Structure 1
Amino acid sequence: MGGSQSTRKLSVDNENAIQVSQDALERIQAQLAANQAAQPAAPVAPQFVPPQYYESRRQQLDNAAEEAYWARRIEGLKRAHEKINSGMQIEYQKTLKEANDLFELAQKDKIASKLPPCQEEKAKVLQCYSTNPNKSLLCAVLVNNFNECVCNSRVAAVSAS
């Protein structure tokens, strides 16, 4: 059905065809040739093709300019980085000194707080006993004062923590 080619033929008659004589054809060709000879040839603009060494030299100059730009940029960044680093170093040293000062102050407070309490009362009691070796009841008031001091320091220590 659709697998074979059609065997029909179609023919068209062209009634509007123009017949040109050989004389007319030669005159038209002669006129075209004269027109082409009369028109000057369009001048072809010479194109400048730079020599190969020029291109490489120009490329070298461009590369050198770009290298110089980036070298200046890197140097500027290095200077800025060094400036920031020096500021940070100064701040670090200042903070370290402050921390050490605070640490020393805290150590002094710890040492002061580690001293046993009531040293004065203890010294008075010991002196009383050494001056009155056989009369210990004479030192009873000093012993009571020492005992109260110890109790008060214990209460203060417990309430502080």
Structure 2
Amino acid sequence: METTSKKKLVIRIILWFIVIVVVAGFTLEYVRTKKVARDSIRIHNLKLVQYFLEDYFLENQTFPVAEGALTAEEGLTSCKIAWNELNQTLTANTGVLLPEDPGQNCTTKPYQYIYRSNGADYKVIATPEKCEWGTDKNILDPARPCTKESGNWAVYSDGAQNW
């Protein structure tokens, strides 16, 4: 009788272990999927901002000027009031809003979009959660290449490539 109860106990422990492993696996996959989804949205958003900038340039022969550095502290970011002004300038006739980063939290950074332009050229950068996911999307920032720790994605005009 005692060996039967020991066998049952061992089976229960094994079953609980299997349940925990399965739940952990689903949780890890869920987290990875969420990161991939946010990075996919970032790619789409960068291309959307690029479209609005190029469209604005066709009508005005200039890009909206924002000369701060391409940093969260100094640049025109999606966390600052100036982003709303840029939004109004670029999308006045469309009723569409410029996107914000899907992971945007303006107090902790780095998930926000940063824009710079001298009027003749522009660059918009974003910090992905996993930089190499953008390798085949033609959005890697040549001035801030992907490494294990960091890197940025960007859309830009030819003259702003190395900003």
TM-score between the two structures when normalised by the length of structure 1: 0.34
By relative contact order (CA 8 Å, sep 6+), the higher-ranking structure is 2
Question: Between Structure 1 and Structure 2, which shows a larger proportion of strand residues?
Answer: 2
TM-score between the two structures when normalised by the length of structure 2: 0.34
Question: Between Structure 1 and Structure 2, which shows a larger proportion of helix residues?
Answer: 1
